Chains A and B, each alone.
Chain A
Amino acid sequence: QVKLQQSGAELVKPGASVKLSCKTSGYTFSTSYMSWFKQIPGQSIEWIGMIYAGDGGTGYNQKFKGKATLTVDTSSSTAYMDLSSLTTEDSAVYFCARMATTDWYFDFWGPGTMVTVSS
Chain B
Amino acid sequence: DTVLTQSPALAVSPGERVSISCRASEGVNSYMHWYQQKPGQQPKLLIYKASNLASGVPARFSGSGSGTDFTLTIDPVEADDTATYFCQQSWNDLYTFGAGTKLELK
Q: Which residues of A contact B (CB under 8 A)?
A: 35, 43-47, 59, 61-62, 95, 97, 100, 103-112
Contacts and interface: CB of A to CB of B under 8 A. Distances in A.
Interface stretch (B8-16, B41-49, B67-75): B41-49
Give the contact-size bracket for chain B: 20 to 34
A103 B90 contact: yes
Contacts, number: 54
Nearest to B93: A59
A22 to B, nearest CB: 11
Contacts of B83: none
B96 interface: yes
A111 B41 contact: yes
Interface in B17-70: 31, 33, 35, 41-45, 48-49, 54
A12 B98 CA distance: 29
A100 B94 CA distance: 16
20 contacts: A44-B97, A44-B100, A45-B97, A47-B94, A47-B97, A61-B94, A62-B94, A100-B48, A104-B31, A105-B33, A105-B48, A105-B88, A106-B35, A106-B43, A106-B45, A106-B88, A107-B48, A107-B54, A108-B45, A111-B42
